[in-house]
């Protein structure tokens, strides 16, 4: 699911066409295969480089699969191709 939703643009592909989902309280799509969800009312949004930053208020949420194992970002390898953005080393302040 992370690869499907995280590696292709929604401008090019209808990501929901092959994924079971239902509408939440706000009309946002809730993925039926997810472990949990938050449904949020959008309060504001603004440009942040080549992205948009959206600020929302949680109005609903649930754990759908309490026995599921969450995907940790560290387990995705370089799925999002962001490894080159990280510093090779960090300076330490003493």
pLDDT digits (tens, 9 = 90+) for 73-87: 888 888 888 888 888
Is the per-residue pLDDT at 61 higher than 90?
Answer: yes
Judge whether 60 lies within some domain: yes
Evaluate if pTM is beyond 0.85.
no
Domain span including residue 8: 2-66
Judge whether 82 lies within some domain: no
Judge whether 71 lies within some domain: no
Is the per-residue pLDDT at 66 higher than 90?
Answer: yes
From residue 55, how far is each of 10, 11, 26, 46, 90 by CA, in Å?
A: 20, 22, 14, 9, 30
Rounded distance between C-alpha atoms, residue 40 and residue 57, angstroms:
5
Judge whether 34 lies within some domain: yes
Instruction: Specify the pLDDT at position 84.
Output: 82
pLDDT digits (tens, 9 = 90+) for 18-34: 999 999 999 999 999 99
CB 31 within 8 A of CB 19: yes
Rounded distance between C-alpha atoms, residue 8 and residue 14, angstroms:
10
Domain CATH code at residue 42: 2.30.110.10
**Mean pLDDT value of segment 5-16:** 87
Instruction: Give the number of domains in the chain.
Output: 1
Instruction: Specify the pLDDT at position 25.
Output: 95
What is the overall mean pLDDT for the chain? 90
Judge whether 42 lies within some domain: yes
Q: How far apart are the first and last CA of the chain?
A: 42
């Amino acid at each position: 699911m992370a690869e499907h939703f995280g590696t292709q643009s929604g401008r090019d592909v209808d990501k929901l066409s092959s994924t079971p989902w239902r509408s939440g309280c706000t009309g946002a799509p809730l993925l039926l295969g997810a472990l949990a969800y938050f449904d949020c009312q959008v309060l504001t949004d603004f440009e942040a480089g080549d992205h948009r930053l959206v600020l929302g208020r949680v109005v609903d949420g649930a754990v759908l699969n309490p026995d599921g194992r969450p995907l940790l970002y560290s387990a995705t390898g370089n799925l999002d191709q962001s490894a080159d953005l990280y510093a090779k080393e960090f300076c330490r302040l003493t």
